[in-house]
Structure 1
Amino acid sequence: MFSTEKDPTYTYLNDGYYKPRLILKRGNETSYYKITLTISPLIKVDFEYTKNESNCPVLVPFGNTSSGKIEDITWNFGDKSTSKEVDPIYEYKVGGEYQVTLTVKSMKNLNSISKNIKDKRTTNQIK
């Protein structure tokens, strides 16, 4: 790409190493600047959970369906409890609504997703 704009932008479509070069010309003088960019692949984060129709306490199996080069996983179950397991089964002892968050980390990226799970008020079942 070549640009004469004051503040050009460029979007790299693929991950990898790139060596863009900046050339500055002022009168008869020319300066060159080189850098190396590392574009890391994005990680996609998602999870699923299985509805459990038993009364409280409720065991909820969570499945991590994230993709990419994941180095670290943290689950937050919405009741101040966390886990580093890939596919945990969590026990909710009290009915209610919980915001479950899965955070995944790669070498260069951090991404998370949250989903609400809630009990059916009359029977304390997760839906």
Structure 2
Amino acid sequence: MQTECTPTPARKVWIAADADRRIRLLERQEREMVDARLAELRRVPCQAAMQLQGWEDIWSVRAGRWRMYCLLADNVRILAIGQLTPDRWPEHGAGMVPSSDGGMPSGAGGFDSGP
């Protein structure tokens, strides 16, 4: 005899589909937040952008790697958005490690912080 707390097979499928839908929604909301933040950063000079409250919000730690939406100091505007890894940009990525709390990676002093 089945009790009320035991989900039926159809209910299990619905629960899995609902969880998948919620994950997709959260991912879409994260993308929208990052896009909005980048649009805001594109409107201000580079130094001011670095001082905006919430700069850490555009860092994301996922699947064992971290992404950095980067500012380059040419024309004081954002020119590139991408994944910063030590092998792609060794002059800036050496020694940078993702933080465990989802904030800025340790060692991330910005592009003009020197070696």
Same fold (TM over 0.5): no
TM-score, structure 1 length as denominator? 0.24
Q: With a CA cutoff of 8 Å and minimum separation of 6, indicate the structure with the bigger relative contact order.
A: 1
More helix as a share of residues: 2
